[in-house]
Amino acid sequence: MLPLEASGSVQFNYRGQRESGQVVVQGNRAENYRLRVSARLLGTAALEVRFNRADLLVMDFAEETFFLGGNDAETREKLFSIDLDPGDFLIVLTGRIPRALYNSARNLSAGPGALRFDLDGAEYRFDLDPEGLPKGWIKSEHGREKFRVVYREYQAVPAGSGAIRLPRKIRIYADEPEARLVLGVSEFQLGLQDGSAAPMAFDPPPGLRFRALGEAPGGR
């Protein structure tokens, strides 16, 4: 599926505050991702997130701050109130399991309308529609649900000489009735040149000051 670009709307938690706006998501073959969130009315950049399996950079243009650190579970929980690693992010966005990840799965079992496997100490359970696409899925660790993904709608996206169905409306839940992330994808672009997702550098941006992980929004 990589490289790809998707655009639409998003609602999510950042440092305990609810954020929303228009979003452009880009990913390249090296599994570097970039999310750029813009204010709905003004269209000005509000937040940009760049990440891969090792690094995480968040630029908060409203607060004129940035965070740069390791992309680990504790950091993701503190910043976004959900532990969504890069591999899970790609599954969430596309409704597809990357082949390399699937080939690494253990205790794989499949039946009518269901798929289950273990990976890196976690259990994945997929609820499938008649065409084999996920209606939703759950990731659990040590018998406890980490998060639950729900797909409310799919869309046809051009791919090669045909089209494939990819998610249009996505919600992620974790231990509460309100979704922690809501994503509405209005457009997917597949088959891009790999350089189209640049820039992906993880250098601290000029003009913004570093914000420590435990610092509250608005802190100076």
Q: Per-residue pLDDT tens for 176-188?
A: 889 999 999 999 9
Residue 220 above 50 pLDDT?
no
3-state secondary structure of 92: helix
Q: Which domain holds residue 87?
A: 4-210
Phi, psi of 83 (to 5 degrees): -95, 85
Q: Would you tell me how many other CB atoms lie within 10 Å of the CB of residue 108?
A: 13
Tell whether 218 is covered by a domain. no
Query: What's the pLDDT tens digit per position in 44-74?
Result: 889 999 999 999 999 999 899 999 999 999 9
In a domain, 61, yes or no: yes
Q: What is the pLDDT of residues 113-137, one digit of tens each?
A: 999 999 999 999 999 999 999 999 9
Q: Is residue 215 part of a domain?
A: no
- State how many domains the chain has: 1
What CATH number is associated with residue 155?
2.50.20.10
Q: What percent of the chain has pLDDT over 70?
A: 94
Q: Identify the residue with better confidence: 205 or 208.
A: 208
Structural domain contains residue 220: no
Q: What percent of the chain has pLDDT over 90?
A: 69
Per the domain annotation, does 219 fall within a domain? no
